[in-house]
Structure 1
Amino acid sequence: MGINLNPFTWWNGATVGTWFGLRGKTSVGEDALGNVYYQGGTDTAGRPRRWVIYSGSNDASRVPPDWFSWLHHQVDDVPDRSLPEPRRWEKPAAANLTGTAMAYRPAGALEKGGRRAPATGDYEAWTPEG
């Protein structure tokens, strides 16, 4: 997508209006996916306002859990400074793949041929005569 569509297509990234709204706001960090986080001003409760500018399509599932907690005021400082290091067994956050070619499709799905494995025999259909 070129810059000509940017003012009209909010789903491809931040629009010109969003960029004007971020003037004077402070960039506080960036996550592993390239999303940039901003803070500035206050909301009606007196808390600092926080934003995310997505790298790529605007999809809220692309915000990692640590930055989600920062956006929703669950932690006060940015995650790099306020949260402990991830544990060895923790997997990195993944975006929601629903609606993409990488989405999970079980064996009976139409995209997989529409055939499912036969029943195992532990099911007995009900009949009105029985």
Structure 2
Amino acid sequence: MGINLNPFTWWNGASWGTVLYGLRGKTKVGEDELGNVYWEGGKDTAGRVRRWVIYSGANDASRVPPEWFAWLMHQIDDTPDRALPPRRQWQKPAVPNLTGTSLAYRPPGALEKGGHRAAATGDYEAWTPDA
């Protein structure tokens, strides 16, 4: 895409207009481990403080970790590092939606895995319109 499309495209990250004009007078409240930056300022139509995220990279909502999603949706009042307990040792980090990538789940029999599935066990009977 390059630098020439940045002023006009929003799907590859924040456009220059958002960064220069949209964030004027707003407060940066934090950043997650993926590099997404979280902001708040102004009021929404319900009178609550408006909150939003500027993505690091492609705009994909599945790249927002659960704790920051809770903050964005006003489920917690303070930022996740202050409002939530620390992550437990056994908890795995959040993973974005991998559909359409080489890391996506492909079940046995998928075309990407050769297209061969295990033989049926005999309890399957195909439907026919004459039956």
User: TM > 0.5 between the two?
Assistant: yes
In structure 2, the residue matched to 1:3 is 3
Compared with structure 1, are the counterparts of its residues 58 and 124 closer, same or farther at alpha carbon in structure 2 (3 Å cutoff)? same
State the alpha-carbon separation in 1 of the partners of residues 36 and 45 from structure 2: 26
Alignment-mate amino acid for residue 12 of structure 1: N
Single out whichever of 66-75 and 10-19 deviates more from structure 2. Answer: 10-19
Q: Who is 1:90 aligned against?
A: 91
Given residue 102 of structure 2, which amino acid in structure 1 is its aligned partner?
A: A
Aligned-pair identity (%): 77
Distance in 2 separating the partners of 1:35 and 1:46: 25
Moved beyond 4 Å, runs of 4+: 124-129
Output the CA distance in 2 between the equivalents of 1:109 and 1:120: 19
Q: TM-score, normalised by structure 1?
A: 0.91
Which runs of structure 2 are paired with 1:61-100 in the superposition (5 Å)?
Answer: 61-100=62-101
Q: Which residue of 2 aligns with 1:115?
A: 116
**How far apart, in 1, do the equivalents of 2:127 and 2:112 lie?**
30
Aligned residues: 129
Where structure 1 has 5 or more consecutive residues not aligned to the other structure, the ranges are: none
SS at match of 2:98: coil
User: What secondary structure sits across from 2:11 in the alignment?
Assistant: helix
One-letter identity of the residue aligned with 1:118: A
Gaps of 5+ in 2: none
Q: Distance in 2 between matches of 1:40 and 1:126?
A: 59
In structure 2, distance between residues paired with 1:101 and 1:125: 33
**Counterpart position of 2:102:** 101
Does residue 14 (structure 1) correspond to residue 14 (structure 2)? The answer is: yes
Q: What RMSD in Å do the two structures reach over aligned CA positions?
A: 1.6
- For 1:96 and 1:106, how far apart are their aligned partners in 2? 16
1-side partners of 2:108 and 2:8: how far apart? 40
Amino acid of the structure 2 residue aligned with 1:25: K
